[in-house]
Amino acid sequence: MTTKNHTPEPLETGFLRLPDVLRLFPVSKTSWYRGIDSGLYPEPVQLASRTVAWRTEDIRALIERTNNAVKPKFIRKKEVLSLTGLTSSGLYDLIKRELFPKQITLAGGKAVAWLESDVLQWQADCLANQQAIASK
């Protein structure tokens, strides 16, 4: 007995209608159209007066880009302090003065975290500034 994979494989070239696109890239119709409006997802091609489809190569590129995207990592205050060497009051002072990335409120509104990439970029900027000052 063989089991079938229900996820369709897109052809190398050609066009895909919306139901096929959403089987390959599982988001709601609303999210899909919002993504098109924001430029995140590819524009459809008008095939006839009331028929649109998406280029297979555009959908393949979207899937590949999404699979290769770096997923954001949230870190909590303890790790931020450990990474930066700041004190808690020093951290919040820098945030207040807009010299450090602002924390993000997580679901529920009670917990906060920082994007690890923002904290690492702040460290890189500090190092670059220090090296620029030292080279003068």
Query: Which of 23, 44, 68 is the last residue before a domain boundary?
Result: 68
- Residue 78 CA to residue 60 CA, distance in Å, equals 40
In a domain, 83, yes or no: yes
Reported pTM: 0.51
Task: Tell me, yes or no, whether 79 and 127 share the same domain.
Answer: yes
What DSSP line would sit under 49-96, residue for residue? TTEEEEEHHHHHHHHHHHHHSPPP-EE-HHHHHHHH---HHHHHHHHH
Task: Tell me, yes or no, whether 84 and 130 share the same domain.
Answer: yes
Query: Which of 33, 51, 68 is the last residue before a domain boundary?
Result: 68
In a domain, 22, yes or no: yes
Amino acid identity of residue 103, one-letter, is Q
For residues 10 and 50, the answer to whether their CB atoms sit within 8 Å is no
**Host domain of residue 64:** 15-68
Please give the structure tokens belonging to residue 2.
Answer: 């063989």
Which pLDDT tens digits describe the chain residue by residue (136 residues)? 555 544 555 567 899 999 999 999 888 999 999 999 989 999 999 999 999 999 999 999 999 988 887 778 999 999 999 999 999 999 999 999 999 999 999 888 889 999 998 999 999 999 888 888 888 7
Map residue 104 onto helix, strand or coil: strand
CA neighbor of 16 nearest in space, from 50, 40, 51: 51
The model's pLDDT over 2-35, given as tens digits with 9 standing for 90+, comes to 555 445 555 678 999 999 999 998 889 999 999 9
